[in-house]
Amino acid sequence: MDTTANTEQVYDAIVIGSGISGGWAAMELCKKGLKTLLLERGRDVRHIIDYPTANLKPWEFKNGLHNTLQDIQEDPIHSNVYSPADKHFFVSDKVHPYIQEKPFNWLRGYQVGGKSLTWGRQCYRFSDLDFEANKKDGVGVDWPIRYRDLEKWYDYVEQFIGVSGQAENLPHLPDGQFLPPMELNCVESHLKTSIKNKENKVLTIARVANLSRGWDDRGPCQNRNLCNRGCPFGGYFSSNSSTIPAAEKTGNLKLRPFSIVAEILYDEETQKASGVKVIDANTNETLIYKSKIIFVNASTIATTSILLNSKSKRFPSGLGNDSGQLGHNLMDHHSSAGAYGVFKGFEDKYYKGRRPCGFLIPRYRNLKESEGLDFKRGYNIQGDGERKEWEDRQGELGFGVDFKSKLTTPGPWTIWMAGWGECLPYFENQISLDETQKDKWGLPLVKIDFSFKENEKNMMKDIQETCATMLKDAGFSDVSMFNYNKPGGSTIHEMGTARMGTDPATSVLNSNNQIHSAKNVFITDGSCMTSSACQNPSLTYMALTARAVDFAVNEIRNGNL
């Protein structure tokens, strides 16, 4: 593929970032006939040929699947989430530093495809319970859209990416366009029956962008659960397997990797953005690319850092920052709290393959306006059931035939389950730029000041207690509660900082994801989110992106952009 871009050409559109939402923006723009420049700050990664570990066995890695002491020392943050199997899809802490005012794990993947190569693939729709929550609670600002505005775009996205799941007819977790669901195993089915009968709660298989059957040019999921290495079968959705190839087929895409966007250029006369200033990551050469419209999809914190660095006479504190909200209201789901239990039974049962997902217990707290709890909003429960294996007993002492038999025989069934909880939008949870400390390309380091507050901490306690109760009521033994107390960013669902809203005085974007005061700039990654709900958010990013592109192209054709 030709990755040279013409600085003299005025492109119809520029897309910054090639991950989940950026890939969608590029595909939709190209399909609608726009000559599109896709800028990615990292290296190129091509589907299949650039997944070097996809088919390696554990013993084929030099250190097995264990990180080295050097990994841990050089990457104290990212080494917590990568292994030798997927280290190449994550950035180096040493090369890409940032400033933590309070502990925050900013987890990144700088390559074509971004984190779409390593995402968790869970796909859940928001509902009006989520879109109306800020208004009802008097928290933050009201979303400028409702479920009806996004419903057809959820349909559209699901029909392209392929989502396996089970319809449950829950108003607060709308059903989608599902492929056949993965199957629960016996201990998960037992827990499902128990919580249905005793607590009237729902347990369902996770809704995931893993194909339960072949889909377009992609093969079905092989149940290897090696997704983070990149899937040569195309068994899960990524920009690399799906949206970028579709964009390339139109002939309208120009992809330029190693392109760090330093700022978006603003034209005082037209009152629009005119293009972007790019630093070549390899040569440090500065380049200017021009376009009619710009989609910023670099991921939440990176997107907002670009906007904050895009200063002009009109926008002295960052592009579109008339409200003073740019950089504020950073959110991430907390997923530290839960419970674990052992089940005695089903010793004659096992499972085949390594299913790439667990189960979901949809939100059941605060579905009505008030339940008298000491926290607002709610959480869902995600978990999985499995049998203990030899790895769980490798530290035990013993010898002889009985000991060897014990190590080679599956142990008891267990269930681990934790809450994915909503974080409220707090003005003081923010990112900013440090004007004195620079990265190797001369750009200001990002500063992150974030913490979970009393609302989230109270929610975590409720998660622990209800998870433990569900397991005990279902006959599990050795039930223990846990709270890992992971800092913000650990769930990798960071969002907010350039929120949508109806009033330019209190928000950065309008209902169509346009910057209020720079109408040809659109933001549809996590930074646009007005609240976090408790659902995994990537499906919503994709739906918002498809909707915004459709609007933008119509505006161009009508002469409004």
- pLDDT by 10s per residue, the chain, length 561: 555 667 778 899 999 999 999 999 999 999 999 999 999 999 999 999 999 999 999 999 999 999 999 999 999 999 999 999 999 999 999 999 999 999 999 999 999 999 999 999 999 999 999 999 999 999 999 999 999 999 999 999 999 999 999 999 999 999 999 999 999 999 999 999 999 999 999 999 999 999 999 888 899 999 999 999 999 999 999 999 999 999 999 999 999 999 999 999 999 999 999 999 999 999 999 999 999 999 999 999 999 999 999 999 999 999 999 999 999 999 999 999 999 999 999 999 998 889 999 999 999 999 987 788 999 999 999 999 999 876 666 667 777 877 777 777 888 999 999 999 999 999 999 999 999 999 999 999 999 999 999 999 999 999 999 999 999 999 999 999 999 999 999 999 999 999 999 999 999 999 999 999 999 999 999 999 999 999 999 999 999 999 999 999 999 999 999
Nearest to residue 479, comparing CAs of 342, 337, 344? 342
Answer whether 313's CB lies under 8 Å from 477's CB. no
Provide the 3-class DSSP secondary structure of residue 462. Answer: helix
Cα–Cα distance for residue pair 61/153, rounded to 1 Å: 42
CB count within 10 Å of CB 8 equals: 7
The radius of gyration of the chain from alpha carbons, rounded to an integer in Å, stands at 24
Answer whether 275's CB lies under 8 Å from 265's CB. yes
Cα torsion through 389, 391, 396, 398, rounded to 10: 70
Domain co-membership, 390 together with 249: no
Handedness of CA 550, 554, 556, 557 (dihedral sign): positive
Domain co-membership, 267 together with 372: no
Of 463, 483, 503, the one marking the end of a domain is: 483
Q: How many CA atoms lie within 13 A of 160 on its CB side?
A: 21
Provide the 3-class DSSP secondary structure of residue 57. Answer: coil
Chain mean position to CA 454: 24
The encoded tokens of residue 24 equal 């969608």
CB count within 10 Å of CB 44 equals: 17
Cα–Cα distance for residue pair 107/93, rounded to 1 Å: 9
The encoded tokens of residue 84 equal 């030798």
Cα–Cα distance for residue pair 536/125, rounded to 1 Å: 8
Cα–Cα distance for residue pair 43/127, rounded to 1 Å: 37
Domain co-membership, 256 together with 317: yes
Phi then psi dihedrals of residue 488, to 5 deg: -55, 150
Cα–Cα distance for residue pair 320/310, rounded to 1 Å: 9
Domain co-membership, 386 together with 466: yes
Report if residue 463 sits inside a domain.
yes
- Its domain, for residue 255, covers 10-122+237-328+524-557
Report if residue 391 sits inside a domain.
yes
Report if residue 63 sits inside a domain.
yes
> Structural domain tally of the chain?
2
The β-bridge partners of 103 are none
What CATH number does the domain containing 87 carry? Answer: 3.50.50.60
Q: What is the identity of the amino acid at 68?
A: T
Domain co-membership, 538 together with 413: no
Cα–Cα distance for residue pair 448/430, rounded to 1 Å: 6
Domain co-membership, 367 together with 462: yes
Of 461, 483, 505, the one marking the end of a domain is: 483
Report if residue 538 sits inside a domain.
yes
Domain co-membership, 396 together with 543: no
Q: Is 229 left (phi over 0), alpha (psi -120 to 50) or beta?
A: alpha
Answer whether 233's CB lies under 8 Å from 222's CB. yes
Q: What is the identity of the amino acid at 417?
A: M
Answer whether 209's CB lies under 8 Å from 242's CB. no
Domain co-membership, 350 together with 477: yes
Q: What is the identity of the amino acid at 42?
A: G
**Which residues, in sequence order, are CB contacts of 4 under 8 Å at separation 6+?**
256
Domain co-membership, 280 together with 417: no
The β-bridge partners of 288 are 277
Domain co-membership, 362 together with 461: yes
Report if residue 127 sits inside a domain.
no
Element (H, E) at 549: helix 538-557
Among all chains, which residue has been given the structure tokens 């690399």?
A: 240
Q: Using alpha carbons, list the distances in angstroms from residue 285 to 258, 276, 279, 442, 479.
A: 11, 14, 6, 12, 58
Nearest to residue 552, comparing CAs of 146, 32, 38? 32
Give, as one character, the DSSP assignment of residue 79: G
| Residue 389: per-residue pLDDT | 76
Domain co-membership, 372 together with 475: yes
**Which residues, in sequence order, are CB contacts of 496 under 8 Å at separation 6+?**
300, 328, 329, 330, 331, 425, 429, 526, 527, 529, 530, 532
> Is residue 451 exposed (0-12), middle (13-18) or buried (19+ Cβ within 10 Å)?
middle
Strands of 477-483's sheet in order across: 204-205, 359-361, 379-387, 413-421, 337-343, 477-483
Domain co-membership, 406 together with 473: yes
Report if residue 14 sits inside a domain.
yes
Q: Indicate the pairing of strand 444-449 with strand 99-100.
A: parallel
Q: Where are the beta strands (DSSP E) in 160-313?
A: 163-164, 178-179, 204-205, 253-256, 259-267, 272-280, 286-296
Report if residue 54 sits inside a domain.
yes
Q: How many CA atoms lie within 13 A of 304 on its CB side?
A: 30
Report if residue 153 sits inside a domain.
no
Give this prediction's pTM: 0.96
Provide the 3-class DSSP secondary structure of residue 448. Answer: strand
